[in-house]
A = this chain, B = another copy of it.
Amino acid sequence: MKKQVFAFEEGDGKNKTLLGGKGANLCEMTQIGLNVPSGFVITTETCLDYLDSDEGALPESLMAEIRDQMVSLEEKTGKKFGDANDPLLVSVRSGSAMSMPGMMDTILNLGLNSETLKGEIQQTGDERFAYDSYRRFIQLFGKVALGIDDEPFDRVFEQIKNDRHVREDVGLSADDLALICEEFLEIVKLETGRVFPEDPYEQLELSIKAVFGSWMGKRAIDYRREFNITSEMANGTAVNICTMVFGNRGDDCATGVAFTRNPGTGENRLYGEYLINAQGEDVVAGIRTPKSIELMASEMPELHVQLEELRARLEGHYHEVQDFEFTIERGILYCLQTRNGKMNATAMVRTSVEMEREGLINKEQALLRINPLHLEQMLYPRLDPGVRVDALAQGLPASPGAASGMAVFDADRAELLGKAGEKVILLREETKPEDIHGFFTSQAILTSRGGKTSHAAVVARGMGKPCVAGAEGIEVDVNLRQAIIGDIIIKEGDWLTLDGTSGNVYLGKVATVESEFTSELNTLLSWADEVARLKVMANADTPSDATKAIQYGAMGIGLCRTERMFNDQERLPLVIEMIVAENKLERQQALDNLLPIQRADFKGLFEVMSPRKVIIRLLDPPIHEFLPSENQLKSEIKQLKHLLDMASGASVLAGTMNLLASGEGRRLMDKVPLPTMVDPSLVEEAINKKTSMLKKVRALYETNPMLGHRGVRLGITFPEIYSMQIRAILEASAECIAKGVDVRPHIMIPQVSTVEELKFIKEFTDSIHAEVEKSYNLKVNYKFGSMLEVVRACMRAESLAGVAEFFSFGTNDLSQATFSFSREDAENKFLPLYNERGILQDNPFEVLDREGVGKLMELAVNWGRESRKDMSIGICGEHGGHPDSIHFCHQIGLDYVSCSGPRVPIARLAAAHAALVH
């Protein structure tokens, strides 16, 4: 027969699965000699046996074991269970392997009945206290064990308080409470048809059943679902039976909760609150305001010393900050419960570093106790956690961080006001590459359309600016320069606050807290780098991104998206010229103008990153992304035609001009002083230009641009574009080398699906390389690699590795192709429901899908290394910054991950975890 009940003296304090977290800790504390009220634990296995049984009966021998334990408790305490003179009272508490605060049931003061009540009065000499305990017990037992609503109890209680004209419970006399007890017993009789059980063992049995049953209660089930607690993590609840101790039996009594260190700052100092002459629930209920534990040094100096001792012993034993409950009964300090303290990231990092220095933990433990994702708190500004305001609207949390600014409705205004020193938030239906200049000068970006991969989201994340995307409740009217959210109209200049971490949008300025890249964090991350096998690189497109990336500890650039360089307002016209070119010559002309610009870009990057790797991805998106949309062009042409009508009519008044507020019309007018004539030929020329662009936009139209004419497919159909980029990279390298700067240029080809594509590009790369080496008269080493973001590339990795010297998984695109989900569409249309219904546990665009995408990656890694043994393989894209994905990348043998700058610290810690946990 397996043992179902363990005294605190005998239970294995490490076995939380069997004893629950609370029970195991009570055993542990008892066994290391802390002063814990005597008690015992009924195992979680017993709970499962009970829940499995059809008859709803407790396992046969259980009550016998419990009786033995109760006898033993009686011996230890000198009290007797059910004794009319000196009754033993106990608490009955649930406690599973995972903490589920408040989700299951607790009963206090069990053992009271009309007989033992007398003994209690006699023992304490405090009639009021005894009746108060009794009425609490009746209600709690009635509710938990007998299933009676609080409502009739509360009604009686309030009634009597009204009758007595008292507002607080403490105003009730012993007699009042006695009357309440009487009425409560009547309620029980009325509701259950039976008298309140007087037999304490019956009380105990019913309570145990109730606690067991609460494991399958709706609250508990919902909680487990909400927090993804699986049956492997916690299965069934233990029941802890513990001798009652009372902090409310006089001024030498107290109760409190404390952390061994400050959970907000990590400071190595006892932190907590206590109340003299009070019960635990009073601290929680907030009926009286508890005092800071520091006051105890003067109020109860002796006990404060004991508490400090307790603190030291807890940390000394657990090697972890503890969050513990204590009660002082008649000058004796009892520890009722302890668990690892929950802290914010700043405190976690500081305590990790300090505990390591104190020798409490080693570096490995210091790293492992911190969830990498929690570092996010320290890396972005966030809303002041003290402030509570209601959100005005909600969108997708597209780029983390919080910021306030005045609403503006187009990029030009954002730039104008931003450069004038104003804080602005760019609010658009959606953004396009041509809005990029407005991003630089905005605090944050808010869009009413688009998902987490929309232009706004991706660019904002790259820049580390907060972004809320797809806030569908917001109606943006660019022409009126306003947005409507429900009844509220936001005009240009109105203040908003965005929280890109939650997706919330607030009206006005909400206080924010700055990011805290502390010296302890630096220390911790340097330890992480020591143990990690994966290198952490950053996605960065500009020298200033790169500078930040280095600050975050990036070991190189894993992804430089050259198209980002094209989006700059000065360059876009050149790019558009290249696109609308009617022939190769015209295109070459435009490319010749772009070459020196790109070369300068790369030179800047190389200089900042030297001597680290810089992996540059050639042009990836379909070129129509650089052009305005069909609708926009149509409306611009319409405006221009209107302008032409007016211009050919007569003089144009400034007022009328203002109506034509946006786009080309305004830009044209900016060139001429107002009020004056607009030169019709100028307008006609603009119309022609726009019309030919419209034609091009239509010709470039694609049904599924995600799967269209992009990446290497562009590089092959327009080799002159890739040639320009390759030349720019190699010439920039040569110029750096000439200055003695150590460069590691890597050229990476996107959207590859077959080795023939790589061969095609490699061929002209080699010839440009030879030209550059010759004309600069020096040696330029570079590496040539391929993205693995097309499924076929993975399937053909062995063959690709014959040409590519490195691989980088683009898991954004790869996940889209593997699932046949367009991220934008999926996140708007069905992914939320998929997650809700449990069809997918996670959003595969946030958490790498190991079973599908991951399996494919693993095959590709193995195939690739079959033909090139030392193949360097990494991952770029958003999964590269997610701890779970990083763990997987480590497992399948990748060499590096690359993620956006601010995620680098998270990735560094996650990489260390991956190396430490097997």
Contact = CB atoms under 8 A, between A and B. Distances in A.
A617 to B, nearest CB: 15
A839 B707 contact: no
B839 A756 contact: yes
A866 to B, nearest CB: 14
Contacts of A820: 706-707, 751, 753, 789-792, 813, 817
Contacts of A825: 702-705, 707-709
A706 B821 CA distance: 8
Contacts of A838: 756
- Interface size class on chain A is 35 or more
A713 interface: yes
Contact of A830 (B717, B826, B837, B851): B717
Given A753-B820, A795-B855, A837 B716 contact: yes
A849 B703 CA distance: 23
Interface in A572-588: none
A654 interface: no
A829 interface: yes
Contacts of A751: 820
A840 interface: yes
B791 A716 contact: no
A760 interface: yes
A9 interface: no
A709 B849 CA distance: 20
B822 A717 contact: no
Contacts of A707: 704, 706-707, 816, 820-822, 825-826
A634 to B, nearest CB: 11
A818 interface: yes
A396 to B, nearest CB: 15
A819 interface: yes
B791 A829 contact: no
A795 B822 contact: no
A180 B490 CA distance: 98
A172 interface: no
A708 B822 contact: yes
Interface string A839-861: 11000000001011101100000
A83 to B, nearest CB: 57
A862 interface: no
A796 interface: yes
A754 interface: yes
A840 B709 contact: no
A506 interface: no
A129 interface: no
Nearest to A821: B707
A180 to B, nearest CB: 50
A855 B794 CA distance: 11
Contact of A792 (B706, B833, B849): B849
Contact of A795 (B703, B709, B818, B840): B818
B760 A837 contact: yes
Contacts of A267: none
A824 interface: yes
A821 B813 CA distance: 12
A849 B796 CA distance: 12
Contacts of A517: none
Contacts of A830: 709, 713, 716-717
A779 B744 CA distance: 71
A822 B702 contact: yes
A790 B826 CA distance: 15
A757 interface: yes
B753 A796 contact: no
Given A833-B717, A852-B792, A703 B703 contact: no
A888 interface: no
A790 B813 contact: no
Contact of A852 (B709, B796, B818, B822): B796
Contacts of A756: 838-840
A522 to B, nearest CB: 40
Contacts of A829: 702, 708-709, 713, 717
A380 B709 CA distance: 34
A741 to B, nearest CB: 36
A782 interface: no
Interface in A787-808: 789-792, 795-796, 799
Contact of A819 (B704, B753, B813): B753
A834 interface: yes
A705 B703 CA distance: 8
A870 to B, nearest CB: 24
Nearest to A753: B819
A148 to B, nearest CB: 38
Given A717-B833, A790-B820, A706 B708 contact: no
B790 A819 contact: yes
Contacts of A754: 839-840, 852
A795 B851 contact: yes
A705 B828 CA distance: 13
A789 B542 CA distance: 40
Nearest to A758: B839
Contacts of A818: 753, 790-792, 795, 817
B709 A706 contact: no
A839 B717 contact: no
A550 to B, nearest CB: 33
Contact of A703 (B706, B753, B799, B853): B706
A838 B818 CA distance: 27
A751 to B, nearest CB: 6
B791 A833 contact: no
Contacts of A716: 830, 833-834, 837, 839
B791 A817 contact: yes
Contacts of A833: 716-717
A702, A705, A792, A852 — most chain B CB neighbours (10 Å): A792
A753 B851 CA distance: 11
Given A760-B839, A820-B753, A853 B792 contact: yes
A639 to B, nearest CB: 19
A284 to B, nearest CB: 40
Interface string A676-717: 000000000000000000000000001111111100010011
Nearest to A853: B792
B717 A757 contact: no
A705 B704 contact: yes
A825 B707 CA distance: 8
Interface in A732-762: 751, 753-754, 756-757, 760
Nearest to A816: B707
Contacts of A852: 753-754, 791-792, 795-796
Contact of A839 (B757, B792, B840, B849): B757
Nearest to A824: B703
A603 to B, nearest CB: 32
Indicate the member of A757, A817, A840 with the most B CB atoms within 10 Å: A817
Contacts of A816: 707
Interface string A754-796: 1011001000000000000000000000000000011110011
Contacts of A704: 704-707, 822, 824-825
Residue from the set A716, A753, A799 with the largest chain B CB neighbour count within 10 Å: A753
Nearest to A855: B795
Contacts of A713: 829-830, 834
A791 B853 CA distance: 9
Interface of A: 702-709, 713, 716-717, 751, 753-754, 756-757, 760, 789-792, 795-796, 799, 813, 816-822, 824-826, 829-830, 833-834, 837-840, 849, 851-853, 855-856
16 contacts: A704-B706, A707-B816, A707-B821, A708-B826, A709-B829, A716-B830, A716-B833, A716-B834, A716-B839, A753-B820, A756-B839, A791-B817, A791-B818, A791-B852, A792-B820, A817-B818
Given A706-B822, A708-B829, A790-B818, 10 more contacts: A702-B824, A703-B705, A708-B826, A716-B830, A753-B820, A757-B839, A791-B820, A791-B856, A792-B852, A796-B852
5 closest Cβ contacts across the A-B interface? A704-B822, A707-B822, A792-B852, A709-B829, A708-B825
